[in-house]
Amino acid sequence: MNDDLTKLENVLRDRAAEVPYLQEVPRKMLVRARRRVVRNALSSIVAAGLFVAGVSAGLASLGTLRSANRVIPEGSPGVHSSAPASSTASCIAADLRATAALGGAAGSEVGSIDLTNLSGGTCTLSGRPILTLFTSAGHEVSVHVVDVVPQWQANGASPPHGWPVVSLRPGAAAAIRVRWTNACPQLADPALWSVDLGDGSGRLDVFGADTVYPPPCNGAGEPSTLEVGPFEPSAGG
């Protein structure tokens, strides 16, 4: 039995030695292998490109989100405030001409001081001016100043547009409601009026006031009273 196995092994060994050694890969197999390598490489490149594009898009979205949520300090370069700046300046004395529109009524001088915008641009007035009276010799007249409501309010009208700011286009006028009573001691000549616009905007003389005689002194022991209203649009302007 052992001899038979030995012979069989020798035969198989001899037959195996007769099989030629394959040194070259068949051409068809090589082509298929190359195609498979190229296809796998292309698939890898496409997958890598898609991955990179996805990462770039994600980073861009994240940057946009961070920029949208980032608080940028006011006044930084390239950053503009959303608050609109005011383009209308306050009126100054050089822009205006003051005229008196006064008349006697029941022992007083009543009316207004009108301020006309003589400049080439729009300007604004707000608040209450300071009125000063002088004698013809240049001495200040002592008066007790009382703040009163504007004429439109005294008349029961609705507030003007933009109140309490009065916007004056070129040629438009604002008014100051005034009433002067009990000029004591009695003045022999008309008083000279001066208007201080306040806030350092200047002072101007009132033309025409020198033709208005002071009211009578009806109470020697009582102060001379000057009622002054705030700036308001002129009824005639």
* Burial degree of 124 (CB within 10 A; 0-12, 13-18, 19+): middle
Q: Tell me how far CA of residue 235 lies from CA of 5, 122, 150, 167, in angstroms.
A: 138, 18, 12, 14
* CA–CA gap between residue 181 and residue 191 (Å, rounded): 13
What is the b/e burial string over 164-182, where b = at least 16 CB atoms within 10 angstroms of the residue's CB?
A: eebbbeeebbbbbbbbbbb
* CA–CA gap between residue 172 and residue 70 (Å, rounded): 48
For β-strands 123-125 and 89-90, DSSP reports them as parallel
Q: Tell me how far CA of residue 12 lies from CA of 3, 78, 134, in angstroms.
A: 14, 90, 145
Place of tokens 């298929």: 32
Sequence-distant (≥ 6) Cβ neighbours of residue 33 within 8 angstroms: 25
Per-residue pLDDT of the chain (237 residues; tens, 9 = 90+): 556 666 656 655 666 555 454 445 455 544 454 555 445 544 444 444 544 445 455 445 444 444 444 444 444 444 444 434 446 899 999 999 999 999 887 789 999 999 999 999 999 999 999 999 999 889 999 999 999 999 999 999 999 999 999 999 999 999 999 999 999 988 888 899 999 999 999 999 999 988 888 999 998 889 999 999 999 999 865
